[in-house]
Amino acid sequence: MRFMVIVKATPEQEASGGAMPSAEDLELMGKFNEELVRAGVMLAGEGLLPSAKGAKVSFDHGKTTVTDGPFTEAKELIAGFWLLQTRSMEETVEWAKRIPFQEGEVEIRQISELEDFEPVMTPEIAEREQRLRDQLSGN
């Protein structure tokens, strides 16, 4: 199973325009990431720049609206993520409990797989999706 561990932004991160973590924090996070890689569960992980450097695109009945950052609700913003492949939500939670944060919050969401869409997926759609996934993985 694949899970996205979403790192929530703090108001301080957003207010500062994306203050860099300390060298000590980077070292701790680097060691944690190494553990994830050695365990074979980390597929990807990245930090994100603050919302001041982002944009939102909204869709409403065929009309699109673009809103430039910064965005007001820091508690709803994302500062980074990990993509993990584990056996269960419980295993993912155990990994998340080891994140070396002094404060903050993460949200864990399971990633939907092609099989989750079988009730509505036609063979043509399934073939196209598999072809795209193969291209992304280099097969």
Q: What is the pLDDT of residues 8-32, one digit of tens each?
A: 988 777 776 666 788 998 999 999 9
Indicate the domain borders of the chain.
Answer: 2-137
**Dist. CA 9–CA 28, nearest whole Å:** 18
CATH architecture of the domain with range 2-137 = 2-Layer Sandwich (3.30)
The whole-number average pLDDT for the span 59-66 is 96
DSSP 26-76: HHHHHHHHHHHHHTT-EEEEEE---GGG-EEEEEETTEEEEEESP-S-GGG
pLDDT at res. 138: 84
pLDDT at res. 16: 63
Interior CA angle at 85 toward 124 and 93, to 5°? 130
User: Using an 8 Å Cβ cutoff, are 109 and 3 in contact?
Assistant: yes
> At residue 103, does pLDDT exceed 70?
yes
The single-letter DSSP state of residue 101 is -
